[in-house]
Structure 1
Amino acid sequence: MAPFRIGVIGAGGGRGRGWARHVKSWEMPVGSDTTELSAIADIDELALNRAAEQLGCKAYKDYMDMLDKENLNLVIIATPHYTHAPMSIAAAERKIHVLCEKPMCINLEQADAMKAAVEKYKVMLAVGFQHRFNPIYVALKRAIEAGDIGEIFQINMIYHWWRAENYFLNSTRVPENKDLDWEGWKGHWLTEGGSCIFNQHIHFLDIFQWLSPSPIKSVYATSRVAKHTFIEADDNTNAIVEFKNGAMGLIQAGVAYQHGKEEEFGIYGTEGQIISRRGMRGTLGIPKLFDDRRKPSARAKRSMLSYMPKKLGDLTKLMYKSMLDAIATGDASKIAVDVNEGRKSVELSRAMLLSQTRKQKIEFPYKDTAGEYPELVHTYEDKDLK
């Protein structure tokens, strides 16, 4: 069997280093070929060389050299957000398939350029939303599509997390921009795109719109810097969502909550409700959600039922395999989040920021203006807040 050649950009950093190790250890068939970690790239030369020595592969400080010289079949992009679009487009132009970490990009102008490149050069692009493979969310999706809880009228998403100051201050420096308040890319609009709704919680914004009963009609949002007073991007955001079928949605997302995680999806229908907490346990008001339950009694039908999947599985590995299967078969429908699906979470995140910027409800579809960002209130610094 011939090698299916894979390169990883950003292999000196945490997520990229993890991807390189995965590719090295997860030898998988791709048609008649077998995956091979051929090369890695990173701007941090010390981290790059250390990783290359550990992994036994070629190393490139310039990712363009790797794309030009390595005859890659697939490249995995695990770099700061603002680099995702140009790197993906460069790979597509060389007819290299792309697995890009989330978010796909930081505005709709970039998303549309990525879509155009993928279509022009006839390559596949997957976005790294591994939570699409979480068995709880898969079960919720099936239940909604089957009509098990009737017509959906409300979806709530509450994700309260914490990130310490060093998370922002110690992020990878931005070498081409020396005018930032600190060198790290996190917490800046132009490099991160947004903080909590473009970084941590975009995973769950993807799930929110995936589970939604119909396309989004409008979004009204407010954002603040509640805790991390030195960053310009959001650390706490609330949004009200309207869907085209009349259903409503509520989003609370933040990384300013110091006292533990609170994570919940609540899906409410005319025939019942489903509440999933921390992506692990489903509590439902009907008995039909999960295939592996015994048939409940009439009394149980009136009770709340709980479900914990026996095994979550390695969600990243499942996502990776789905991309390889899509390439092997030429069937892009096997990709959980392709370029079109990846655009949806960017569209929702940008709408939330533009609503704050323009102080108005954003109707879908809308015109995105790259570089248009709000000047956020810093809750504990601004004197005009009562």
Structure 2
Amino acid sequence: MSRIYRIGVIGFAHMHITSLIDYFLELSNIDWVACADTVPEVPSISSEPGTRRANLQYAVEKTGMKAYEDYREMLEREDLDIVLFCPENARHGEVAEAIAKKKVLMMITEKPMASSLSEALRMVRSANYNDVELVVNWPTTWSPAIRKVKELIDTDEIGAVWQVKWRNGASMGPLAYGQKITDWEKGQEWWHQERAGGGALLDYCCYGACLARWFLGEPATSAFGIRANFTSHYGDADDNAVILVRFPSSMAILEATWSTVNTGIPSGPIVYGTTGTIVVDQGKVLVFKDRKSKEPTNVFENLSLPEGRDTLAKEVIHHLETGEPLHPTLDIPINLDAMAILDAGIRSAKSRKMELVDNVNWCIG
């Protein structure tokens, strides 16, 4: 019989923390122990759904966890096996380091891995030193269509891949899904603060960085980034961004937007190969191999994930109890390479020049 896992939660800045909690609420062998938020540099004003106050309240009400004022005190007092953490992107390194010193079995955060490659490496070094597993969750990992794309690439369905294109779906930014919140209140949220790791580039280009790295099977070499704030002047973070990424034998275009009412066309991802094109559209995978036809050659739909490993919670518990590898997009190597792409894109947007994509050997300090 499966053991009971004692879970703690740190950080309620990212609204995806509620999804991570929901995954584990589906399991019967979980003991919800305690939670605590980080203290933001700029106090959050709103309590609307998706804000840190609402996320913390959701967690306590759903799980019955004890809430601490200070996450360090929580770590000192409580015995934990797994810690979920979703603070501001810029504080992932700080919190991960504190969790690792507790020597839990596993710590799990939500994409992106961090706000910089140096912070991501800080997380990995702490995890390795303390023998703690570090997992980065991606909503795209749980898309059967995305899994099918990788399968088709690996079986040469469209020949050699030379470009991956990612653009997020229609989005008007965080807290723009029916919440009653003023622009002033939005500006107080970390999402719109560059220093806290906010902005559309980290929020959405990260998906493309991870998928391009996974699809193409090799690290990137350089990147050119553009960032802008077109409609969110109540904050100093970008609300639109593009990163052009060079790989050894291919390229990727990563687009992020917080100001798109409707995409107009399928946003993908789209993968271009020497003998065809793959398009993800509303959960379907379309393969086009006829140059003159607008109709797909093949359509894959009604797809599914492996039974017993179709959610984050099931996947990590399966891994802990069997020793079988995690899905590669959850593991460290691909996440570090994805973070390196984002880091280069951010540096490029500041320097207005193409920047090399660093790695563990070239990112010092």
TM band (smaller chain): 0.7 to 0.9
> Partner of 1:322 in structure 2?
315
**What amino acid sits opposite 2:297 in the alignment?**
M
> Partner of 1:297 in structure 2?
none
Question: TM-score scaled by structure 1?
Answer: 0.76
Q: How does 1:170-319 map to 2 (within 5 A)?
A: 182-191=187-196, 193-245=197-249, 247-259=250-262, 263-278=267-282, 280-285=283-288, 304-310=297-303, 318-319=311-312
Instruction: Name the CA shift for 1:59/1:313 in 2 (closer, same or farther; >3 Å).
Output: farther
User: How far, CA to CA, are the matches of 2:186 and 2:6 in structure 1?
Assistant: 40
> Partner of 2:109 in structure 1?
100
Instruction: Name the CA shift for 1:80/1:131 in 2 (closer, same or farther; >3 Å).
Output: same
> Partner of 1:10 in structure 2?
11
Alpha carbons 1:115, 1:340 under 8 Å: kept: no
The structural deviation recorded for 1:313 is 9.4
Instruction: Name the CA shift for 1:12/1:207 in 2 (closer, same or farther; >3 Å).
Output: closer
Alpha carbons 1:23, 1:37 under 8 Å: kept: no
The structural deviation recorded for 1:91 is 1.0
Q: Say if 2:66 is the partner of 1:58.
A: yes
Q: Gaps spanning 5+ residues in structure 2: where?
A: 39-51
> Partner of 1:127 in structure 2?
136
The structural deviation recorded for 1:115 is 0.9
- 1:114 counterpart SS class: helix
Alpha carbons 2:24, 2:313 under 8 Å: kept: no
Q: Say if 2:21 is the partner of 1:20.
A: yes
Deviations 1:158-196 (A, max 9, x none): 33533258559x999xxxxxxx994321111110x2411
The structural deviation recorded for 1:261 is 6.9
Alpha carbons 1:12, 1:51 under 8 Å: kept: no
- 2:320 counterpart SS class: helix
Q: Which of 344, 353, 364 is matched with 1:360 structurally?
A: 353
User: How far, CA to CA, are the matches of 1:70 and 1:171 in structure 2?
Assistant: 37
Instruction: Name the CA shift for 1:183/1:156 in 2 (closer, same or farther; >3 Å).
Output: closer
The structural deviation recorded for 1:21 is 4.4
Question: TM-score scaled by structure 2?
Answer: 0.80
User: How far, CA to CA, are the matches of 1:218 and 1:13 in structure 2?
Assistant: 29
> Partner of 1:39 in structure 2?
34
Alpha carbons 1:67, 1:91 under 8 Å: kept: yes
Instruction: Name the CA shift for 1:142/1:181 in 2 (closer, same or farther; >3 Å).
Output: closer
The structural deviation recorded for 1:85 is 1.5
User: How far, CA to CA, are the matches of 2:280 and 2:264 in structure 1?
Assistant: 14
Instruction: Name the CA shift for 1:328/1:304 in 2 (closer, same or farther; >3 Å).
Output: same
Question: Which segments of structure 1 move beyond 6 Å, counting only runs of 4 or more?
Answer: 44-47, 312-316
Instruction: Name the CA shift for 1:165/1:130 in 2 (closer, same or farther; >3 Å).
Output: closer
**What amino acid sits opposite 2:70 in the alignment?**
D
User: How far, CA to CA, are the matches of 2:303 and 2:327 in structure 1?
Assistant: 24
> Partner of 1:374 in structure 2?
none
> Partner of 1:114 in structure 2?
123
User: How far, CA to CA, are the matches of 2:264 and 2:202 in structure 1?
Assistant: 18
Q: Which of 334, 337, 355 is matched with 1:341 structurally?
A: 334
**What amino acid sits opposite 1:129 in the alignment?**
W
User: How far, CA to CA, are the matches of 2:101 and 2:85 in structure 1?
Assistant: 15
User: How far, CA to CA, are the matches of 1:181 and 1:45 in structure 2?
Assistant: 14
Alpha carbons 2:12, 2:53 under 8 Å: kept: no
The structural deviation recorded for 1:54 is 4.8
**What amino acid sits opposite 1:356 in the alignment?**
A
Alpha carbons 1:127, 1:342 under 8 Å: kept: yes
> Partner of 2:86 in structure 1?
78
Deviations 1:52-83 (A, max 9, x none): 35533322221122222221000001222222
User: How far, CA to CA, are the matches of 1:129 and 1:221 in structure 2?
Assistant: 22
The structural deviation recorded for 1:312 is 7.1
- Larger CA deviation: 127-136 vs 212-221: 212-221
Alpha carbons 1:157, 1:265 under 8 Å: kept: yes
Alpha carbons 2:242, 2:254 under 8 Å: kept: yes
User: How far, CA to CA, are the matches of 2:116 and 2:15 in structure 1?
Assistant: 24
User: How far, CA to CA, are the matches of 2:296 and 2:173 in structure 1?
Assistant: 41
User: How far, CA to CA, are the matches of 1:26 and 1:138 in structure 2?
Assistant: 24
CA RMSD in angstroms comes to 3.5
Structure having the higher Rg: 1
